[in-house]
Structure formats: C-alpha cells, structure tokens
Structure 1
Amino acid sequence: MNNVIRIPVLVCLVGMLLSCGDEDFAVPPASTVPKFTYTVDNDELAPSMATFTNTSIVPSSVGEATFYWNFGDGESSRDANPQHLYTKAGAYTVNLVVTTSISLEVRKVSETIVIKDPNATGVPIYYTDGSTVFQALINTQAPIFTALEGPSLQSSYGMVMDTVAQKIYMSDYGADKIYRANLDGSGFEEFRTGIDSPNGLAIDYGENQIYWDNSSGIQRADLNSSDLNQKEDFVTGQTNDPDGLSIDPVNRKLYWINYNGGIGSKNLDGTGETMLFPDIEGGTIMVINDRIYFDEYVDSGDIRIKSADLDGNNINTLAVGIGRVVYGIGYDPNDQKIYWGDRGTDIMWRADLDGGNPESWFTAPGDTRGIIIGKKQ
C-alpha cells in the first residue's frame, strides 16, 4: 500500500471570486452593418430619380468608413447619401459596399429597385406569397413583379379577379376573412369576416356571387352586399377539407378539390352534387374550356398537374415532380398557357394546355400562391 497523502488543490477558485489577476479580457469590436433605404419619384415610372439614405451602422472603433454604390445600370457613386436617375425601365440590383480603415472590414448589402415602363402593355398577372400581393405583365420581356401597396394578409392561399368590377378578392386562411381591393391594391377592405379557414375563390357572374371553401364545405355570398356576415352554405359535409374551387360558367356548375381526397361537382342551382374522383388529393382546380385542370398529391415531392374532361374522363398528366401542393392555377387565354407555382422551389411555371413547352418562367423570393391573370391591356 502506498502512503500517499492526497491534498485537494483549489486552483485559483477563491482567486476567481476575488480576481485571480487584473488582466483585461479584450472584447471584439462591434462589426460594421451596411444598410440603406430609398425612395423613387414619378410613381416609379421611368425616368425616375432614386434617393438613397445610408443607414449603415459604423462603430467608432472600426475607423473611417468609405462607401461605394453600384446602381445596377453601369453607374456608381462614392457619396454617403447619393441620388441616381434611372432613365430606362427594369429591375436594378443596387449594391452598397462599406470599407473601414482600422478593422479593414469590407461589407456589402444589396437591394433590388424596380423602375416601371410607363408604356408597357401586356396581360396582368398576380400572385401572393401569403402576406403580400405582387403584380406584373405577361409580355415579351422577363416578368418584373412589384408589390401592391394596400393588401396586408396573414396567410393567404387564394385569389380571384372580378373582371367586371375590376376588383381582386383575397382569401386569408390565417385571419378567417376575405378581403378585396382595386387592381392597383388601393381600396383594400374586408369583404367577409368570421369565415372558417378559406382558401379557394370563384366568381359566378351569372348570379353575381362569390364562392369560397371552408373546412367542411363551400359557401357563397352576394358580391353587391356590404354585410360582412352575409353568406350561405352551398356544399356541406365535406370531411376531407375542401381547398380549391372553380366555376364552369357554360354548364353552370361548381367544381372543388379536397386536400385529403376527392374532386366533386354541383350544379349552381343546388342540384346534381357528385364526387368525380373520391381519392385524388390536391389544393387547386380550374375549369378551362371543356376540361378541368388540377393538382394531385402522388408522393412527397411529386405533386402532379393533370387535366380531365368535365365528367372526369380522359385524364392527362401535364407536369410531375412538383415540390409541394399547388395553390392556384392561372390561365392566359391570349397565349393558351397555364401557370402554376412550385412552392418547393419558389418557381412559377407555365406550359401549353396539353403540358407541352414547359417553361421555368419566374423565380420568386417566396411562395407563388393564388395565381390570377387578367385581361390584356
């Protein structure tokens, strides 16, 4: 047996409490944060003067800061708060680079400025990312989407355009409301409140009514009524959560698709309710000419766009491999194209009505839901 005396050693424990030394621990200096805001005159129509306000955070410890602006059109500036005239329409990526003399930092921030063409023509197209509504024109140029001022949504999945009254209706699943606004976003107001989780919207011009889904059916309301509570049940007992709906104006029939399975139809006079497909799961449906177009959940990461005759026969597959359930198929009758959004990749696609010539048309900064297309300007 070894005669070892074990003596606990307190390694500066008390000293830590009483300050083991007077050393100062260096605190890293705060970093530079480049930021800026901007305003654009002339209603953002070319030519427009952009005024930039430099709001960068530059701690005194980093030394003197210098600023370099690249306006995205080949012009630049070293002013702290410059102005710049954009003479042509387009989407311009503006870069602000901040460098510091002591900390030797090089920091960059970018924003995209959209200058609109006052003479632009085309077909208006809209979508929502859930909280904001965006608008662009379908023409020969790449689409330039801008946010509409006015609409403010919690979680929107569906929109519809009233082409007679020139209004946009927006469902808000998160707020249990339906809103409406003018085509430029002005006049944003509540249309119906106290609705159970609305998604899809459709307008019947024959009776001047709007239809929407709730968690167990379909409801409708008079477009001319200003009563926020005015509504009536049209389809009930749908346990599989209806999401998308569309109206066949020729045959006076409503179609809807259930998130958890089922595509149904019912005459607008209240007769003839039937289930065309009891098992198809999806989020959107649209009547185009004599066919219905819809998405079908096949597997995770494989949502498909399909079409069928109005009676459910002659099913065709138009697109496969879509990342998430689709909310909103748009139709441009001028070019005979359909549009849909892949919420897995944030890409808006378009193709011919038979699925031919598919095109990755626009990459959004977020979801592309509730796609609607208006009349050619």
Structure 2
Amino acid sequence: MLYKTRILVVLLVFGGLAQSPSSAGYLYWTDKDTAKIQRARLDRAGWIEDVLTAADGLVDPRGIALNVADNWMYWADNGTDKIRRARLDGSEPQDVVTGLSFPADLALDLDAGKIYWADCDRNEICRANLDGTGPQAVRTGIVQPYYLALDPGRGQVYWSDFDSPTIHRANMDGTGGVEDLDFLTGLDRVRDVALDPATRKIHWGDRDAHKVQRADRDGSGGIEDLYTAADGLDRPHGLVLDVGHAAMYWADTGTHKVMQGSTDGSSPASALNPDALSGEPWGVALGILTLDRSASINSAIYGDLHAFDGPPGSPPTVVELGGPAVVDGYAEAFGSSTLNVTGASVYEDLIAWDWSQINVISGDQIVYEDSVQARDSSTVNMLGGRISGGGLDARDSSTVNVSGGWIGDHLNAYDSSTVNISGGSISEDVFSHDFSTLNISGGEIGDHLKAEDSSRINVSGGAIERITAGSTSGAHSSIITIAGSGFNYPYGEIPDSDGTLIGLLAGGDPINAPFSIYGNASIMLVPEPATLSLLALGGMALLSRRRRSSAR
C-alpha cells in the first residue's frame, strides 16, 4: 500500500462535523477479567463476538490499538508483561515486546512505524518499531503512567497516571520536559484521554468522579461535563472518538458495559450491550483508517476508511482508491475531502458527508452489498464503473451527477437534493421525493421514473420505460415536465390519469412509455427549444400580418 501522507488510526473529532453518533464498522475492546478481546458491529444492535480468549494466551489484556491498513491489532497484557498482536480476526497471535512490568495502555504512530506504551511499574513511556524491534524508553522518572494518547502532528504524547487527577504531556521523542495540565482542576482519578487536533480539545474519563469530560487543551473555556453518573456512568476507563460521526465510545468497568454517546454530550448515553458483560471492559479501539492528507490506496483495508480535511492551511485531502483495493467495510468522505474510485471495491456503503465529493470513475464491483450515498451538501459524480450492490441516493440537499456507468438498483433523490442524469444506466427505479429536483437529459432508466411529494422531474432525453407523478398529500404537488415534439397529447398538462405517452424527446430520444398520475400531481408537456423558437417566429409573423392588415 502506498501512502503519500500521515495516517491516523486513533480517531479524532473535527469541529463542525455533526453526524449521527453511530459508526458503521467494528468497535474492539479488551476485557481484563475474562481475558478476552471482543468486538461489536456498530450497525448491528446486540452483535458481539469473541476475537481472542484465554485459549489464545490472554491473561489480563489492557490497552488496545488497531492498524486496519495492515490488518493488525495490538494489545498490552498485564498478566504476561507483554505487548502482543494478531490479525483483526484473531488469527496469527504473536509476541511483539516481552519482559515488561505492567504494560497498561498503548498507541500507534503509523506514519513513523512506531508503537508507544505506558509501563506502569517501571514509571516509563516507551516505544518500539511495529514489529517490536528497537525498544527504547522515551520518558522516564514519571509516576505510574496508565493511559496515553498521541498527537503525531504536533509530536506530543498525553498520559494519565494510575492514581492521580493530573493529565500530563511531553514531546514524543523524549526531548524537553513534562507539562502538567494543572489548569484542568477539580479532577479526581483520570483514566483514558482522547485528543481532537482541530479544535484543540481533550476528552477524558474520570473513574472516581463517574464522568466523561472535555476541555480546550490551552486551558481556556473551562471543563465540560459530557456524561455523568446521572447518565449511568460508574467507572469510565478506555475512551475513543469517532471523527466523522461525532461519536464517542468508552468502557465502564463498574457497570460492565461498553457505552456510546456524542462528542459534545448532546446525545443520550447508551450501552452497546444492554446486558452487562461478564467481566470488566478496559480498553477500546475503532476499526477505522482515517486519512487527513492525500493518499493513494491500491490494496486491502481491513475495516472502514474515512477521509478528512487536514489541519488549517493544508492542501485539500484527495484519496485515490484504485484497483485492486478492497475496503472491507464503509468508505466515507468528510469535510471538503475527495474520494476518487478508480477500480476499488467497497463491501459496505460509499458515503459523501458534509461538503465532500466522491467521484466514481471506474471499477467492476464498486459496492458489493449496500449503496452509494450523497449526504448533507456533498456531491457524488458517477462517470463510470458498476454499483453492483444497492443503489445511489442523494439526501439532505446534496447533488448527484450521473454521466456514465451502471447502477444495479435504484437512484433516489430526497430532502431538496438535485440529481442530474446525462448518461449511464440505472437498472431499477429512479424516484424524486421531498422537494428534490431530477434533471434527465440522457442515460437509460430500466424501470420506473417517479416524482412524489412536491418534487420536480425535468426530462429532455434518455430512455424511459414508465412514468408516475404522484402525491400522498393534498398539500404537496409533484410535477414532471417533459420537453420534446410530436407527442400524442397537446402541449400543456396531460388530462388523463393513465395512458401512454408517445413522441420524441428534445434530445432526440423516442419515448413510448405508460404513465400514471394521482393525487395533486401532473405531467406537463412543453416544446423543445427549437420548437419554441419556431413557435415564437410564427407568432411574430402572425402579429406582423395583423399589423399590415390593420394598416390597410
């Protein structure tokens, strides 16, 4: 896999992105009491499976970190005093670093190819290469480091202690001194910390205060209580942030549950496992590869992929998904980033959020199971390729442009979105709903063209099999406007509720399609531009003759 930029796998939260707090992929966690690593599918309620157990050599697993680009998960085991790794499905478990003394949490700096960990009993923060070679202590003489988080962009490591209310930070390379974040007052016993590099906020769990909180990293703005005991918290420990979906997940060793909420605390806290786990979940990690710089990907991603804007002032993020790349999950673009799909395959949804853009250029199996979606004010351009699973949806005032390719299912427009079809082939229905606009000048619609609920469809070309204009409410009116000539109905509103429309569309395509009209809806026939010009000339000539006649 070739990358041209920094890769972040520890998920961060970028300001201004406010998706619903539900990610699509896997959440992993360690359970220190039952000696397990488990995972849940976040889009499948109640789905939990064991990935590794005591039979695989686990004794007291603590911190966990994922490298979905290379299909590895890493964990620290306090019972064996080792850092180990295995494939994301639990296969190939192996030692990475041995001979430690209470390794607690760990984190990955994939750009530098390093793993960092907190050695609680030796009072050190250490690092090594991802394969365990070259171990070294980068911070010594500290007191029982417990959880840690990395900010590779600024070269800093943050950590909490085993029995302290203080959060610390220092340079990742070991230079300089240690800064205690003493401006974070009133804390009790801090556990995991998670960083937001764009908004400069830090999130943490406070074990004995029964809270998840956040604050600005420069000390301004005070401390915000996001979730407290009133939300069901007891002893929050491991914590991770989901960038795009503004979601947060944490392990609670007191309630024996893995919890979820939103990064600003606006959504109610809820448990991924309503029934308590048999042990104590400790560390959490998300199976998402996050790219905040341009990159070219030409091999497998063993999880979800998120593309984001980089820090302020950085170039736009453009991610090339080329063949034979396979994303074994969801691929999503956020902010103003761009995903170009040129031969890659995505097993789940391919989604553009915010004001991002996805360009589907080529590929035989773009999406295997689900759909391609434009959300918020984003844009999806389909120039080629094949969407073999679900369809293509435009939602939330987004834009979809289809000029080529093949869609194996539907194409739908919702929520004041705009869809422009000038080419390509859609095998199933094309629907416009909820004040959306659909413009068709070419392409092939294999089944049903339908406008509902105050939407608009404008047709000037293309191959169309069947037409319906409908309204489910008397207050809503849908209009399909068809431009052309030689129709078997006069220009204006078609008076019949059912029939067959025959004629020549403005773009030169013939139409011979049954239609249906119901509710407060209509199909309007209008002349093509050339016919309009002739009608205008004819009208001017008639007016001229009348003037000449009156002059006599």
Q: 1:149 to 1:246 in 2, by over 3 A?
A: closer
- Is 1:353 aligned to 2:263, yes or no? yes
Q: 1:324 to 1:284 in 2, by over 3 A?
A: same
Indicate conservation of the 8 Å contact 2:160/2:190, yes or no: yes
Indicate conservation of the 8 Å contact 2:211/2:233, yes or no: no
Aligned counterpart, 1:271: 175
- Is 1:182 aligned to 2:87, yes or no? yes
Query: Which amino acid in 2 is paired with 1:148?
Result: V
Indicate conservation of the 8 Å contact 1:177/1:190, yes or no: yes
Indicate conservation of the 8 Å contact 1:283/1:325, yes or no: no
- Is 1:317 aligned to 2:225, yes or no? yes
Greater shift, 308-317 or 333-342, is seen at 308-317
Aligned counterpart, 1:115: none
Distance 2:141 2:248 in 1: 31
Distance 1:311 1:195 in 2: 34
Q: CA deviation at 1:214?
A: 1.1
**TM-score (normalised: structure 1):** 0.62
Distance 1:340 1:329 in 2: 4
Q: CA deviation at 1:319?
A: 1.4
Query: Which amino acid in 2 is paired with 1:359?
Result: A
Distance 1:213 1:269 in 2: 14
Distance 1:350 1:305 in 2: 11
1:167-206 aligned within 5 A: 167-206=72-111
Between the aligned residues of both structures, percent identity stands at 28
Indicate conservation of the 8 Å contact 1:323/1:343, yes or no: no
Query: Which amino acid in 1 is paired with 2:49?
Result: T
- Is 1:251 aligned to 2:154, yes or no? yes
Secondary structure of 2:272's aligned partner: strand
Distance 2:168 2:219 in 1: 10
Q: CA deviation at 1:201?
A: 0.6
- Listed as ranges, the gaps of 5+ residues in structure 1 are 1-120
Secondary structure of 1:328's aligned partner: strand
Distance 1:373 1:224 in 2: 21
Indicate conservation of the 8 Å contact 1:132/1:152, yes or no: no
Q: 1:149 to 1:320 in 2, by over 3 A?
A: closer
Residue 158 of structure 1 is aligned with which of 59, 63, 70? Answer: 63
Indicate conservation of the 8 Å contact 1:158/1:327, yes or no: no
Secondary structure of 1:287's aligned partner: strand
Distance 2:152 2:196 in 1: 10
Distance 1:265 1:149 in 2: 33
Query: Which amino acid in 2 is paired with 1:200?
Result: D
Indicate conservation of the 8 Å contact 2:260/2:272, yes or no: no
Q: 1:201 to 1:346 in 2, by over 3 A?
A: same
CA deviation digits over 1:257-289, x for unaligned, max 9? 112222111122333431113874222111134
Secondary structure of 2:47's aligned partner: coil
Q: 1:195 to 1:311 in 2, by over 3 A?
A: farther
- Is 1:138 aligned to 2:138, yes or no? no
Q: CA deviation at 1:347?
A: 2.0
CA deviation digits over 1:42-73, x for unaligned, max 9? xxxxxxxxxxxxxxxxxxxxxxxxxxxxxxxx
Aligned-residue RMSD, C-alpha:
2.1
Secondary structure of 2:80's aligned partner: coil
1:17-28 aligned within 5 A: none
Distance 1:311 1:271 in 2: 20
Query: Which amino acid in 2 is paired with 1:222?
Result: N
More relative contact order in 1 or in 2 (CA 8 Å, sep 6+)? 1
Q: CA deviation at 1:176?
A: 0.8
Secondary structure of 2:236's aligned partner: coil
1:51-130 aligned within 5 A: 122-130=24-32
Q: 1:177 to 1:359 in 2, by over 3 A?
A: same
- Is 1:343 aligned to 2:253, yes or no? yes
Distance 1:217 1:307 in 2: 26
Residue 370 of structure 1 is aligned with which of 283, 286, 308? Answer: 283
Q: 1:213 to 1:313 in 2, by over 3 A?
A: farther
Distance 2:128 2:224 in 1: 34
- Is 1:287 aligned to 2:192, yes or no? no
Secondary structure of 1:157's aligned partner: strand
Distance 2:180 2:92 in 1: 39
Residue 236 of structure 1 is aligned with which of 140, 148, 164? Answer: 140
Distance 2:236 2:61 in 1: 13
Aligned counterpart, 2:236: 326
Q: CA deviation at 1:324?
A: 5.0
Q: CA deviation at 1:127?
A: 0.9
Greater shift, 281-290 or 186-195, is seen at 281-290
Distance 1:203 1:320 in 2: 29
Q: CA deviation at 1:348?
A: 1.7
Indicate conservation of the 8 Å contact 1:282/1:325, yes or no: no
Indicate conservation of the 8 Å contact 1:126/1:372, yes or no: yes
Q: CA deviation at 1:251?
A: 1.5
Indicate conservation of the 8 Å contact 1:349/1:358, yes or no: no
Indicate conservation of the 8 Å contact 1:347/1:360, yes or no: no
CA deviation digits over 1:56-103, x for unaligned, max 9? xxxxxxxxxxxxxxxxxxxxxxxxxxxxxxxxxxxxxxxxxxxxxxxx
Distance 2:92 2:256 in 1: 29
Q: 1:123 to 1:199 in 2, by over 3 A?
A: same
- Listed as ranges, the gaps of 5+ residues in structure 2 are 1-22, 289-303, 305-328, 330-552
Distance 1:313 1:243 in 2: 26
Q: 1:224 to 1:345 in 2, by over 3 A?
A: closer
Indicate conservation of the 8 Å contact 2:227/2:269, yes or no: no
